[in-house]
Each structure stands twice: as structure tokens, then as C-alpha cells.
Amino acid sequence: MTPEQAYAELIRRSREQKVLSSCVDLLEWDEQVCMPRGGSENRAEQSALLAGITHDQATDPRYGELLSLLEQSPLVADPESAAAINVRELRHDYDRERRIPRRLVEEWARVSTLASQHWGAARERSEFKPFAKWLDRLFALAREEADAVGYPETRYDALLDDYEGGLTTRRLNELFSQLQPALVPLVDQLHGRPAPAPAHVLAREFPLDRQRLFLEGVATALGFDFERGRLDVARHPFCTSIGPGDIRIAIRYHARNFSNGLFALLHEVGHALYDQGLDSDHFGTPLGESVSLGVHESQSRLWENQVGRSDGFWRHFYPQLQGTFHEALHDVPVETFRRVINHAAPGPIRVQADEVTYDLHIIIRAELEQALLSGDLRAADLPGAWSDAYRRYLGIAPKNDREGCLQDGHWAEGLIGYFPTYTLGNMYAAQLFSAADRDIGSLDERFAIGDFASLRDWLGARVYRQGSRYSAAETIERAAGGALDPLALIESLSRRYELSS
Amino acid sequence: MTPEQAYAELIRRSREQKVLSSCVDLLEWDEQVCMPRGGSENRAEQSALLAGITHDQATDPRYGELLSLLEQSPLVADPESAAAINVRELRHDYDRERRIPRRLVEEWARVSTLASQHWGAARERSEFKPFAKWLDRLFALAREEADAVGYPETRYDALLDDYEGGLTTRRLNELFSQLQPALVPLVDQLHGRPAPAPAHVLAREFPLDRQRLFLEGVATALGFDFERGRLDVARHPFCTSIGPGDIRIAIRYHARNFSNGLFALLHEVGHALYDQGLDSDHFGTPLGESVSLGVHESQSRLWENQVGRSDGFWRHFYPQLQGTFHEALHDVPVETFRRVINHAAPGPIRVQADEVTYDLHIIIRAELEQALLSGDLRAADLPGAWSDAYRRYLGIAPKNDREGCLQDGHWAEGLIGYFPTYTLGNMYAAQLFSAADRDIGSLDERFAIGDFASLRDWLGARVYRQGSRYSAAETIERAAGGALDPLALIESLSRRYELSS
């Protein structure tokens, strides 16, 4: 077998595996968006079965043979060549997968499907207690996975690596310990700040059908391609890629809380632009895949905050918004509207949090999940620990479990070690946006004339179409022209929110 | 290994296979209801891959070993026992699957996904020509499958057997040659019949949101359980079972053609009641599965026609209908409405056909697909042959390909040998309904007071919960208390449409 033949087989297998795992993605999308309640047991069986088959394929020893053969061949001599990159990344994934037994993979799929249902029910009733035993099972599985995969210093390393390749707990805590003390004085200044008078405008009546039309228009203007994607409603907003021509967003929107749906849309469109912008010629191989969840999150946070809260964005969209919701906004000038949507104040809910306080929500979750994983915190004690942390970092406490530790579905879905990627994303986004602004020149003026393509193209060349060519850290460094610096985020927040850091 | 252990493993494998094939069903549902156009290529890959894996599982030689072991064991001594029934049916399926190479299964999945997309495009433009080469490919695959499976007399036998186990071409043509000459004089009488004056009431404005609410109400009243199912919109109405608690209906409805959506709903609810009424304890084994497509169709046609066009049904629902669509129906008494929806006249479109002419649409398709399969008819010549047959049997000709040979998506989906099950269903339905009416007593009066449970329970005991215990023919015979007789359908039509046979 020549290296060329081996490489062709490797790529065929990689693509096949991606196609199979995209079937799992569709099962999950359907579960969130379409599935009737009665389907949940069978869905758990379906997910477990497909996850097991995917795992079998991903750990087929044939992969190992092909990789070993290729690693010795001249095909990978140039480390920047497509072959070298794909072989490097597939080796990393193969080694990780090989260490996880199929039984554990199926158990994850089954438990997380059921746990998500129970989380939904617990959240609805705002009662954590019946969910505690599910959380115990989930963290037990996470420990089992970490032990199977192995880690340099602590189990949490093994989980982080799955979402942000190469990131260690030590490095994460180092970044967070730079960020957190710089955020606290900003948040302190918010406590003294009065709410802008007409804050209640967002609680006026924004008819759902009109929101839908307006949001579809915004998504299209930013570059989301409805020919290759869709927009739906789900309890928890998300974006998923079913295939190169099938990228799906789901959000929730409410008649009397306009900003919820709006910023969920901008966030998920940011994810979707990345997925729709990947190089489809390399679909199903690392070169055609996003590099990490942190970088993915940088795209969602960039469009949500750096773009969607800017002056130029609203100079462009406000006239249309005001026309669409004339009853609600007829007496609200654009400056007032911007002040209202950019109002920052500590609150209990992460997905409704402003940009300034957002990362403290994440730092709390990262601390708590490390404690739950190590066993320092028992699941049953989570509500208390949650309230304590919120009091300590944000000066507030949740009224109940629903606005406390039941607000997010991530852990129930088995996403443990995932939350930090949100704050990594915020840090990356601040650096990327400032570099793009420097390269392209006054982005705000571009937005004001409805030009979002300049920014999208800049990101397309430097992020989307790079796939997994470089590590996450290197991708950001090359695009932004400098190493990661948590203080770039502090600077961006201070400037835009007029806070002194 | 004891027979008990072998049986447990057989059942586990059967269930797993059902769970896997239900993932394929979800891919197909999504393709019809949700998928953006850009997703079609990837969907073809997904379907082909899963179909291939399903086929591998279904043909695993381990099945053959388990079946041989069990066939010799005392476990199956009583042919009416659950074990004997499941072993008998799984043997039939295993033998069939083993004869079909995986390559052919994948090719079917890939070609039918693409052909369906091309059919949709061809239908939209009403242009058969570009679709002809797809039809050629589909029938070539059907021939290949028939040759692989084997058949007693003709290739068409092998295809029929997949949808209606045990039915031969000879027996089918015998039934159809009894039915067709009895139908023609009925249809002749329709030609002379004037349309009821206010036929245009159905073309008045029936707002879509109100149709949706009304139809959901009807589905619920008939017994469709929305906790274990959903209702969507698709180009072509269908019902699919994703799992025992997840039965999905899709229909299309139009503001200016109320009866289209209504009867599509009743039809698909009939299918869904069967699926929701199967014995979920036996899910994933023959005892928990519908016996044949013909029997499935008998359920849809029974609720659509025998129930949905009856006097009692409308005595119950008309006041609500009239209230919901006051503008359209304020001047239409219930008797007029019933005359309008029961108006029978030859037309070009099968799904819009009345009960009297419907089976001639099917007999035409059965003849044409036999000719396409044998090679007597070339795909390119289909439009002409289609028009000829319509002129001959129904005295009309389609205006264009869209209302001619492009109207149905079945062949594009790979469903060849499927159409006859519609007419088998009509024949079964007539016999079942008359037996139920005899057993329960005056069903029409039950319907008038909103009692649909009596009929549903009768069908549940005699059809739904029988699963595949008996052959299709025997299931109907036992339920209806007599052998299949095509003239029972003629009698039912003559009586209800006041025609002399």
C-alpha cells in the first residue's frame, strides 16, 4: 500500500465517521426542536446505539495502522501540508477515542439524554433535589472518562482538552486569576449605576411573528444563508451542523422580552457563520472543521456583542426595528434604545447577563465544576454553593433553583469542562475585533451602511477557512497578531461601558 | 446456549436493528419536513451509510445461527406462541435481506434520496424529461433487487412481497381484474352526474392558522395522541414511526382548498392510530409491528372515507367547523357540505381523487410499474402511456406532467410495487368497517355523539395489537369474519354514492 492509498483510505474513513456523527447531531437537534415528549426513551436508545457505532468506527485499529504508516511517510514531511495537518489531528482524536471504552460512550449517550429530560422537568418545577442524583451520575461518568483518557495533573485537564485542545487546568486558572480581579472593580462600578429610565421598553409587546421576521432579516443581512440552514425555536438556544449545507440555529423569543431573542439570534448566527464558512472541500477532515469550542465561541460572542451592541449596527437596523415594532418603540430614540440594551447590572441568569458581568458567571461555573469533579462538592450541596458564589462574585443571590443552578442544561447534556470556552471566546473575540477594526478601518462606519461582509470576509480568511490547521491558541495569535491577553477584554469592556479599569 | 438465551439474544438484536432503522426514518422525516435544500447531498450520504449499517446488522450470520437453533427447539412448538411468531417472521426477513448485497442497499438509499430531490424539482417545473433518467436508474435497481431476492414467476412478485407478504402478481392481477370491470360502470354513472351547485365553497378562504387548529382538534378527537406524536407540513402527506412514543404525521393544506388538508389529515391519522396502537411491549419485534402496508393502508382509508365522509362524523364536527370558518361556511348547511365533499368525478390527481375513481388511479399505476419493470415500457415513454391509460380508464387526460406522471413521489423514493397496497387497503377497509358496524352496532350514531373510541377499540383488539401474529390476509379474515372479496368495496361504494352496480 502506497502512502497515497493509505491517505485516501484515511480520508474516506474520516469523512464516513463525520457523516455518521452528523446523524447523532440530527437526533440531538430533533430532540431539542421537534421530538414529542413520548419519544424520549426511544431517543435515548437511538443516541446510545449510534454513539456506540461511531465510537467503534473511530477506534477501528485500521485507523492506527494507516496513521502509523503515514507518520513514517514523506507525505507528511511538510508540517504545513494538508496531509500532515490531517494526520496530526486524526492521531490526536484516535488516541483519545481508543482510551474510552464503548460501554462508557453508550452510557454517556443514554444518561445525558435522560438527564436532559429530567433537567427540563426539574427546571420547570424549579426543584433541584430530584435532579441531584442525575448530576451525581454525570460527574461520575466524567471522572471515569478522565481516568480512561489520562491527564497531566488533574482530571479536569482531560475534560478541558476535549473542548479546547491543549488547554490545561493550570493555564486556565492562571488566565481566570488575571481576569477575575480585573472584572470585580468594573462590576462594583455597575452597582452604583442607576438603570436607564425607560428600561421597561424591552418589556413592552413585541409580537412573536414580527420578531421572527425581523430576526430572519438580521440573520440574512449578517450573511446567514437560509438555503443552507434554518432557524427554529428551542428551550435552550443552540447552533448545530448537520452537514456542510445544513447549519441549524435554534433560539427562544418572548413577546415581552425582546432582547432575549435578539441576542440569542446574534450569538447563534456567529456560530453559524463560522460553520457555513468552513472549507466544504475539506468537509469531514480536520482541515474543514472548526479548531476548538473556544474559537467557536469567540465567533458567537463577537457577533453578539462587538457587532450587535455597536453604534453602527443600530444606526443601520434601528429604523427598520422601529417600523416593525411601532407600538413598542415609537417614543424611543435610537440612543435610548442602545442605552437600554447596553445596560449592565449584575443578575442571576447567565444567558441574560450583560457583557461586563458575563465572565463572572463562567468563572463561578468553572470553579463549581472543578469542585464537583474532584468530589470537594457533593451534588446535593450545589444549590448552596451556587448561591454563595453568586453572593461573593456578583453581590446577588438567586431567588430559587430555576434562576440558580438549574438555569443551564450543559451538565445534563454531559458538557463538563465546556463552560470555560465561553470566557475564552470573549477574550479571543475582543482581540480579534480590535485587530479587524485596525486592518479594515472603522468597522462601525461599515456596519452603519449595512456592510457586514467586510468583517465576515476578514474572519473567513483568518479563522473560518483555516479549519484546524493551527492550534486554537495559534489560530487566534496569527489572526489577531499577538498572544492571548485577558486584559484586552478588560480594555474593550472599559471603553465601551465607560468604566475605569 | 439454551433456547431461552438464544431467543433473548435474537430479540435484543431485533430491537437494536429496529432502533437503528428508526434513525433512518428520522433522516427521511427530516428531509421531507425540515432539511434546507443545501443539505441534500450530505443527507444522501447519511442515508446510504445508515442503510448500509442496518443491512450489515440485519444480515449478520449470527442471526442465521440463532434462528436455526431456535427453529429446532421446543420454544417454537406452539405456532401461536410469541416466540414461534417472532422466529417465523424474523426468518422471513433475514432470508430476504441476506440475498440483497450491501452495495445495492446503499445504492438504493443514495439514488432514491437524489431522485426524490430531482423529482421535486421536475414536478415544480412540470417537466418530466430530466427526471426520466432517474426513473430508469430506479427501475434498474428494482430489477436488480428482484433478481437478487428471487421470485416464483415474475420480478414484480419479489417487490410486492416486500410490502404485502405473500401476495403474488398473479393473485393481485386476479383481484384487480375482478375490481376494475365492476368499477368502470360506477365511474360511467359519475360522468353523467352534475356537480353539486356550491362546489366552490371549498375554494373559499379557509385561513391556514384556523385550519391547523381545527385539524389538530379533529386528530385529538379521533384519538391521535400529541404527547406521543406531532403534526407538520410537507409537500407530500405521510406518517412515520420514529419510535413507540413518537409517531409523526405531515400533511399539506391550502387556504383555498379545504378538503385537501382535511382528508390528508384523516388519512394520516388512520395510519398513526395503528402505529400508536401497536403493542409497545413488543416494540422492535414482529409481534409489535404492523403486519403489512396493505393493512396499514386499510386503516388510513377507513378513517379517511368510511369515517370521515359519513353523516355521523359531520353531524358531530360541522357546527364547530362552521364556527371556525364562519365567513366561508355561514350560508352552507351541513347537507350541502357533505354533498360537496362527497362529490365524485374523474380527475387527474390521485391524492385528490374521490373514493369511486381512486382505485382506477391505482390500477393504472400497477399496470405501468409492471410494464416499466419488465421493460415493456421505457421511462422516456411514460408520459404518453400515462395519458393513454387515464383516457382509457377514467375518460380524461392530464394537462401536463405535473398533473400526470410527476404527481406522486413514490417511485422516486424507491417504492416500486407499493401502489397496489392502496387498493388492497380500500378493499380491506370496506370489509373491516362493515364488520365493525355489525359488531358494535350503528357506528354512524356513535360518530354523531363524538364517540370514535368504540371503533378505535374494536380495531385495536383485532388489528393494531395483533401486530404480525397472522399474515395480512389472515388478519383481515379474522377481523372481518370472512375471506377477502373485492365486491365488498363495490357494494360499499354503490350504497354510499347511490350508484347501481
Average per-residue pLDDT for chain A: 94
Contact B19 A229 (CB under 8 A): no
Contact B42 A20 (CB under 8 A): no
Q: What is the pLDDT of residue B351?
A: 84
Contact A42 B242 (CB under 8 A): yes
Residue A52 near chain B (CB below 8 Å):
no
Cell of A77: 514531511
Q: What is the pLDDT of residue A67?
A: 98
Q: What is the pLDDT of residue A213?
A: 96
For residue A52, pLDDT over 90 is answered with no
B-chain residues near A30 (CB < 8 A) = 26, 30
Please count the other Cβ atoms lying within 10 Å of the Cβ belonging to residue A335. 11
Residue B227 near chain A (CB below 8 Å):
yes
Residue of A nearest to B50 (CA): A20
Q: Which helix (H) or strand (E) holds B402?
A: none
Cell of B229: 406524536
Mutate to test the interface with B, among A13, A16, A19, A231 (most CBs of B within 10 A): A19
Q: What is the pLDDT of residue B197?
A: 63
Contact A19 B46 (CB under 8 A): yes
Q: Considering only CA atoms, which of A63, A61, A75, A53 is closest in space to residue A4?
A: A75
Instruction: Judge whether A62 and B267 are in contact, CB under 8 Å.
Output: no
Residue B417 near chain A (CB below 8 Å):
no
Distance from CA of A412 to the nearest CA of B (A): 22
Transcribe A261-330 into DSSP letters: HHHHHHHHHHHHHHHHHS-GGGTTSGGGS-S-HHHHHHHHHIIIIIITTSHHHHHHHHHHHHHHTHHHHT
- Residue A286: C-alpha distances to residues A369, A476, B46 (Å): 29, 17, 19
Contact A42 B22 (CB under 8 A): yes
Contact B19 A42 (CB under 8 A): yes
Burial of B375 (C-beta count, 10 Å sphere; 0-12/13-18/19+): exposed
Q: What is the pLDDT of residue A320?
A: 97
Q: Which of A19, A36, A43 sits opposite B226 (nearest CB)?
A: A36
Kindly name the residue from B28, B89, B164, B268 that is annotated as catalytic: B268
Q: At what angle do helices B472-480 and B420-440 cross, to 10 degrees?
A: 20
Distance from CA of A423 to the nearest CA of B (A): 32
Q: How many CB pairs under 8 A join A and B?
A: 114
Residue of B nearest to A242 (CA): B39
Q: Which of A19, A27, A230 sits opposite B26 (nearest CB)?
A: A27
For residue A108, pLDDT over 80 is answered with yes
Tell how strand A229-233 and strand A246-251 pair up. Answer: parallel
CA B41, B47, B50, B53 dihedral sign is negative
Q: What is the pLDDT of residue B106?
A: 84
Contact A242 B40 (CB under 8 A): no
Residue of A nearest to B43 (CA): A243
Q: What is the pLDDT of residue A398?
A: 95
A-chain residues near B40 (CB < 8 A) = 245
A-chain residues near B246 (CB < 8 A) = 35-36, 38-39, 42-43
Transcribe B233-291 into DSSP letters: E-SS-EEEEEETTEEEEEE--BTTBHHHHHHHHHHHHHHHHHHHHS-GGGTTSGGGS-S
Spatial distance between the Cα atoms of B462 and B479, rounded to a whole number of angstroms: 5
Tell how strand B246-251 and strand B238-243 pair up. Answer: antiparallel
Contact A245 B41 (CB under 8 A): yes
Q: What is the pLDDT of residue A198?
A: 62
Distance from CA of A298 to the nearest CA of B (A): 26
Q: What is the pLDDT of residue B323?
A: 96
Residue A26 near chain B (CB below 8 Å):
yes
Spatial distance between the Cα atoms of B319 and A279, rounded to a whole number of angstroms: 58
Q: What is the pLDDT of residue B350?
A: 93
Cell of A289: 472543521
Cell of A270: 456567529
Note if B268 is an active site residue: yes
For residue A17, pLDDT over 90 is answered with yes
Q: Please give the single-letter amino acid code of residue B220.
A: T
Percent of chain A's residues with pLDDT above 90? 89
Q: What is the pLDDT of residue B195?
A: 73
Spatial distance between the Cα atoms of A106 and B497, rounded to a whole number of angstroms: 57
The 10s digit of each residue's pLDDT in A261-274 is 999 999 999 999 99
For residue A217, is it left (φ>0), alpha (ψ between -120 and 50) or beta?
Answer: alpha
Instruction: Judge whether A220 and A249 are in contact, CB under 8 Å.
Output: no
| Banded model confidence at residue A66, pLDDT cuts 50, 70, 90 | very high
User: Which active-site residues of A does the annotation give?
Assistant: 268
- Residue B77: C-alpha distances to residues B82, B84, B85, B87, B285 (Å): 11, 7, 11, 11, 19
The 10s digit of each residue's pLDDT in A327-344 is 999 999 999 999 999 999
Q: What is the pLDDT of residue A197?
A: 63
The 10s digit of each residue's pLDDT in A372-426 is 999 999 999 999 999 999 999 999 999 999 999 999 999 999 999 999 999 999 9
Spatial distance between the Cα atoms of A89 and A98, rounded to a whole number of angstroms: 14
Low-confidence ranges of chain B (pLDDT < 50): none
Residue of A nearest to B242 (CA): A39
| Banded model confidence at residue A200, pLDDT cuts 50, 70, 90 | confident
| Banded model confidence at residue A164, pLDDT cuts 50, 70, 90 | very high
Residue of A nearest to B15 (CA): A45
| Banded model confidence at residue A352, pLDDT cuts 50, 70, 90 | confident
| Banded model confidence at residue A467, pLDDT cuts 50, 70, 90 | very high
For residue A50, pLDDT over 80 is answered with yes
Instruction: List, as ranges, residues 473-492 from A with C-beta within 8 Å of B.
Output: none
Residue B110 near chain A (CB below 8 Å):
no
